[in-house]
């Protein structure tokens, strides 16, 4: 039952975000903000597919224990693409609110992103092991969480300052995604049911993508 439900959910998710992303790229009409948003959605879906597709195959065949290498590699790739996702989202913020300068913020975004990726590449993570390192799972997610917090603050303040009704909940989608993700990092190994929080976390990312998509549609209809 878990295999069927989870596989269907992941398939709908991946097809949806990639399709929305490609649609936004194709119909952005030269609007750099929405083209970036579309690229961001494709990066999200394509990156997650490296983990979710092997997981679906594992669940529907011989089980997760027989796909340790594929799942670990997929998690590593997803960790890197999710970091790229937030870099792109940062530039969506800059373009949408016509931000100039702010070199300090840009440097911070890149430093946190590079640190996150470097930490992900350390062999101590044990990506290909059935018993991945819990400590390194925390280490690599510290700069990632700080990056997410920074993006949350930026979108919250800017949407409020510009009375941006279309993006007013963008910050909340990111809060929810991290709110569901952090317990998984901390406790999923000891309490497997905590892993179910990845479903609402995924829904939060879909909400993020839909905010950009609906905003583009409104602008194109004007």
pLDDT, position 121: 96
- Whether the pLDDT of residue 63 is over 90: the answer is no
Q: What would the two tokens of residue 195 be? A: 């892993």
Range of the domain at 79: 2-99+148-221
pLDDT, position 65: 80
pLDDT, position 60: 85
- Whether the pLDDT of residue 1 is over 80: the answer is no
Q: Label residue 192 by pLDDT band (50, 70, 90).
A: confident
Q: How far apart are CA 86 and CA 12, in angstroms?
A: 22
Q: Is residue 15 part of a domain?
A: yes
pLDDT, position 132: 85
pLDDT, position 59: 82
- φ/ψ (deg, to 5) at 201: -60, -45
CB within 8 Å of 143: residues ≥ 6 apart:
112, 113, 115, 116, 119
How many domains does one find in the chain?
Answer: 1
- Convert the pLDDT of each residue in 5-21 to its tens digit: 888 999 999 999 999 99
Q: Label residue 68 by pLDDT band (50, 70, 90).
A: confident
- Whether the pLDDT of residue 208 is over 90: the answer is yes
What does each C-alpha distance from 163 to 95, 157, 158 come to in angstroms? 16, 10, 8
Q: Is residue 175 part of a domain?
A: yes
Q: How far apart are CA 126 and CA 47, in angstroms?
A: 19
pLDDT, position 194: 87
- Convert the pLDDT of each residue in 33-46 to its tens digit: 999 999 999 999 99
Average pLDDT in the 110-134 region? 93
Q: How far apart are CA 156 and CA 176, in angstroms?
A: 14
Q: How far apart are CA 53 and CA 62, in angstroms?
A: 14
CB within 8 Å of 76: residues ≥ 6 apart:
120, 121, 125, 127
pLDDT, position 64: 75
Q: Is residue 113 part of a domain?
A: no
Distance of CA 54 to the CA centre of its chain: 18
Q: Is residue 138 part of a domain?
A: no
pLDDT, position 144: 97
Closest listed residue to residue 212, CA positions, set 9, 48, 17: 17
Longest CA–CA separation in the chain, Å: 54
Q: Is residue 93 part of a domain?
A: yes
Q: Is residue 109 part of a domain?
A: no
pLDDT, position 73: 94
Range list of H helices, the chain: 2-26, 32-60, 68-96, 103-121, 134-161, 170-187, 198-221
Q: Is residue 139 part of a domain?
A: no
- Whether the pLDDT of residue 3 is over 80: the answer is no
Average pLDDT in the 62-74 region? 86
pLDDT, position 220: 84
Residue 71 near residue 55, CB atoms below 8 Å: yes
Looking at per-residue pLDDT, the higher value among 1 and 48 belongs to: 48
Q: Is residue 140 part of a domain?
A: no
């Amino acid at each position: 039952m878990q295999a069927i439900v989870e596989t269907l959910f992941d398939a709908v998710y991946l097809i949806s975000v990639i399709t929305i992303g490609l649609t936004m790229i194709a119909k952005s009409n030269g609007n750099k903000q929405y083209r970036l948003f579309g690229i961001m959605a494709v990066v999200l879906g394509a990156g997650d597919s490296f983990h979710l597709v092997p997981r679906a195959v594992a669940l529907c065949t011989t089980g997760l224990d027989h796909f340790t290498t594929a799942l670990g590699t997929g998690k590593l790739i997803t960790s890197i693409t999710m970091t790229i996702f937030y870099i792109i989202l940062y530039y969506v913020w800059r373009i949408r609110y016509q931000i100039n300068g702010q070199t300090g913020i840009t440097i911070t975004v890149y430093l946190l992103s590079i640190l996150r990726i470097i930490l992900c590449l350390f062999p101590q993570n044990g990506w290909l092991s059935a018993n991945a390192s819990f400590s390194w799972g925390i280490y690599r997610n510290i700069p990632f969480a700080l990056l997410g917090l920074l993006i949350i603050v930026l979108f919250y303040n800017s949407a409020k300052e510009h009375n941006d009704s279309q993006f007013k909940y963008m910050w909340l989608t990111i809060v929810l995604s991290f709110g569901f993700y952090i317990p998984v990092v901390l406790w999923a190994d000891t309490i497997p049911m905590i892993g179910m929080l990845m479903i609402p976390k995924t829904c939060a990312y879909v909400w993020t993508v839909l905010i950009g998509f609906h905003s583009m549609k409104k602008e194109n209809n004007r």
